[in-house]
Chains A and B, each alone.
Chain A
């Protein structure tokens, strides 16, 4: 675990050093070149703003209205036969929508059931193995003006479902 943590900390400085040293060796005017590239940062940030507003608005309303709890109760008849503990369902549903929202739910689960309970472990694994889908899609596609996302949603949701089921299964096999 220490090794993994070390790699995590060292990766970014290492990449930076490599890029700068390689540029120097090849005789590039690295300062000017950096500035030239950095300018693009502002245009991209401005370009993604309307998409961010749109997605923050939608997810904000869904989250704070309690709409997700409603969806949870709708889905529970389907998910129960799959072996997904009902306690982690709100997390599984929130995860594709919001990172901060799902972190809040995870915190609730861990404090209620304990971090070393089955539910606590499944929830932690789920949090660590899935990503926010709709936010990422809105920002990434928005930035380049893509309007038709084709099979991205289907593939992402199936992948998310796989993460949820795998979390339950792996915790059952490995940790008990």
Chain B
């Protein structure tokens, strides 16, 4: 992250200097930094809703039974996480919310999943195998109905805006499998 962050900023400033648009840096500091805080605050509401609901589900035992149901899948993907651990329910719920296009709900549940995974993590500063797997699946999964894309296509006069739903689902399935396989290859290794 260290290197990537520096790389992104330095490339940006370099190109801005070459093209004489150096004032964008100032604009970004003024505008985007504020946007980040606004986003975090707007996320607070939905975070609270899901953390509240998950707390109910945890106490009522729903998370446990749900975890049992998903055991075959989660055992394969997250062998280091004990079955029935709350992290697995948060992970599954995050995937569902992602597929349904509920982006902010998905983020809220995903952050809960990360906290639960962190409680199992031995070295708190280094990502665990389960964390890497979860994030990679999370970042390659999609919503079943990409509403904004459909709207864009419809507005541009497409004769069949929905035809890309099936292609997106296939492409996502492929990318998710690739992500999972790469994670599996790296699992258990310290660093490289």
B41 and A45: CB pair below 8 A? Answer: yes
| Chain B contact residues, CB within 8 Å of chain A | 1, 4-5, 8-9, 11-16, 19, 21, 24-25, 27-29, 31-33, 35-37, 39-41, 43-45, 47-57, 59-62, 93, 96-97, 100-102, 105, 107-108, 110-111, 114-115, 117-118, 124-127, 131-132, 135-136, 138-146, 148-149, 152-153, 156-172, 174-179, 182-183, 186, 189, 191-192
B1 and A147: CB pair below 8 A? Answer: yes
Residues of chain A within 8 A (CB-CB) of B146 are 124, 127-128
A20 closest partner in B (C-beta): B56
B167 and A151: CB pair below 8 A? Answer: no
B152 and A137: CB pair below 8 A? Answer: no
Secondary structure at the A interface, as helix, strand, loop or mixed, is helix
Contact (A159, B182) CB under 8 Å given A59-B8, A127-B146, A136-B135: yes
Residues of chain B within 8 A (CB-CB) of A107 are 152
Against B, the Cβ 8 Å flags (1 = close, 0 = not) of A137-176 are: 1111101111111111111101110110011001100110
B24 and A154: CB pair below 8 A? Answer: no
B31, B143, B164: most-surrounded residue (chain A CB, <10 A)? B164
B178 and A57: CB pair below 8 A? Answer: no
Could you list 6 A-B pairs, sorted by A, with CB under 8 Å? A41-B49, A67-B15, A110-B156, A128-B171, A130-B175, A167-B171
A131 and B28: CB pair below 8 A? Answer: no
Bound form: Cα–Cα A52–B62 in Å: 33
Q: Does A15 belong to the interface (CB within 8 Å)?
A: yes
Bound form: Cα–Cα A116–B124 in Å: 49
Bound form: Cα–Cα A38–B44 in Å: 9
The distance from the CB of A51 to the nearest CB of chain B, in whole angstroms, is 9
Residues of chain A within 8 A (CB-CB) of B48 are 37-42
Contact (A11, B100) CB under 8 Å given A61-B12, A154-B182: yes
B9 and A58: CB pair below 8 A? Answer: yes
The distance from the CB of B13 to the nearest CB of chain A, in whole angstroms, is 6
Residues of chain A within 8 A (CB-CB) of B138 are 131, 136, 140
A128 and B136: CB pair below 8 A? Answer: no
Q: Which of the residues B56, B115, B153, B169 comes within 8 Å of A23, measured between beta carbons?
A: B56
Q: Does A115 belong to the interface (CB within 8 Å)?
A: yes
Bound form: Cα–Cα A20–B144 in Å: 26
Bound form: Cα–Cα A121–B166 in Å: 12
